[in-house]
């Protein structure tokens, strides 16, 4: 079932709205159901269907209700969006398939081992999905093929922070400029909280891949401090509750150049994911932050 088919028509929504007044008093013909009870029901209908329709709010399903899931919830509510459902296990997905609540989009911050299942579930349900879960990108081609086959909508990113995506841009330009200077050894370091399961981070992998694309003397990255010929070392550290730090270093005998991004908290990731969700609705295909940013500039 495609959830877009369950959206009430504009005429139906306007007809419903006339029965609900600001103080939730019911103004309808005689009914077997008492006024206050029907008013309560119609008020829920209004806030679940009418309000988002008229005011541009999204109804969001959160997949993965951990640190980032809670951050997304907080940021979404602050922007006036609605949380339709929070899923944190397989039973939650089963309930979603059985209950069929209407939703505009799913925002997923779960775990690498279940991310693909979550994405495929979204395709089957016909709901656009935004995922910030990393550790599954080796299967991206297969997922993209299924997305196109199902006419699904997928927005994935190793990092939704606007600052990090600007960091990506500068990193690629710097790598290209530094490729002419063989005296410099380049390395990448990422620091995250002890609960992060994948290493290196998806952000660090993109940083490394962008360096290799723009630096002809490097052929592959390796997740240890190894400066062998053609290798780009990527070092992963796990410390306390650190939300995320990424550092690119160029070192020679003469000097040291460092490009660094340090997240102060998780709010930037959550706001970026919500911006991606708003942008994704109404589109089909596979998209990244590059697509979103290009559409803005």
For residues 19 and 151, the model is more confident at 151
The answer to whether 212 and 221 have CB atoms below 8 angstroms apart is yes
Tokens of 130: 């935004």
**Helices 140-150 and 112-125 sit at what angle, rounded to 10 degrees?**
10
Query: Does position 185 have pLDDT exceeding 80, yes or no?
Result: yes
Residues 187 and 248 in one domain: yes
Report the distance separating Cα 290 and Cα 73, nearest Å.
Answer: 24
Report the distance separating Cα 293 and Cα 297, nearest Å.
Answer: 6
Residues 122 and 252 in one domain: no
Provide mean pLDDT across the span 137-159: 95
Residues 166 and 151 in one domain: no
Tokens of 260: 């660094």
Query: Minimal CA–CA distance to 62: which of 86, 82, 84?
Result: 86
Residues 139-149: pLDDT tens digits? 999 999 999 99
Report the distance separating Cα 121 and Cα 126, nearest Å.
Answer: 9
CATH number of residue 286's parent domain: 3.40.50.720
Residues 203-219: pLDDT tens digits? 999 999 999 999 999 99
Residues 142 and 185 in one domain: no
Which residues have a Cβ under 8 Å from the Cβ of 59 and sit 6 or more positions away? 48, 52, 81, 82, 83, 84, 102, 103, 104, 105
Residues 8 and 134 in one domain: no
Residues 35 and 9 in one domain: yes
Number of domains in the chain: 3
CATH number of residue 249's parent domain: 3.30.360.10
Residues 71 and 110 in one domain: yes
Structural domain of 64: 56-160+264-297
Q: Domain ends where: 55, 75, 90?
A: 55
Q: Is 246 helix (H, G, I), strand (E, B) or coil?
A: strand
Residues 86 and 205 in one domain: no
Catalytic center residues: 192, 196
Provide mean pLDDT across the span 174-199: 93
């Amino acid at each position: 079932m495609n959830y877009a088919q369950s959206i009430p028509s504009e005429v139906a929504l306007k007809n419903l709205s006339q029965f609900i007044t600001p103080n939730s008093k019911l103004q309808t013909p005689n009914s077997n159901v008492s006024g206050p009870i029907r008013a309560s029901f119609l008020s829920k209908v209004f806030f679940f269907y009418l309000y988002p329709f008229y005011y541009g709010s999204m109804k969001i399903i959160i997949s993965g209700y951990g640190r980032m899931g809670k951050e997304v919830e907080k940021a979404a509510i602050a922007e006036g969006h609605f949380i339709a459902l929070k899923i944190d296990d397989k039973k939650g997905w089963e309930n979603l398939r059985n209950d069929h609540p209407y939703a505009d989009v799913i925002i997923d911050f779960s775990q690498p081992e279940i991310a693909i299942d979550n994405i495929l579930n979204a395709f089957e349900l016909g709901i656009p999905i935004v995922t910030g879960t990393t550790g599954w990108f080796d299967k991206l081609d297969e997922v993209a093929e299924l997305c196109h086959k199902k006419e699904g909508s997928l927005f994935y990113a190793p990092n939704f922070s606007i600052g990090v995506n600007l960091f990506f841009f500068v990193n690629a330009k710097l790598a290209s400029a530094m490729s002419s200077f063989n005296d410099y050894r380049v390395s990448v370091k990422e620091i995250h909280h002890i609960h992060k399961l994948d290493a290196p981070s998806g952000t660090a992998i993109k940083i490394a891949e962008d360096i290799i694309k723009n630096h002809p003397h490097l052929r592959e990255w390796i997740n240890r401090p190894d400066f062998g010929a053609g290798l780009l070392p990527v070092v992963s550290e796990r410390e306390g509750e650190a939300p995320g730090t990424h550092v690119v270093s160029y070192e020679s005998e003469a000097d040291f150049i460092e490009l660094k991004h340090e997240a102060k908290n998780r709010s930037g990731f959550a706001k970026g994911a919500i911006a991606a969700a708003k942008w994704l609705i109404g589109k089909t295909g596979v998209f990244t932050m590059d697509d979103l940013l290009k559409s803005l500039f």
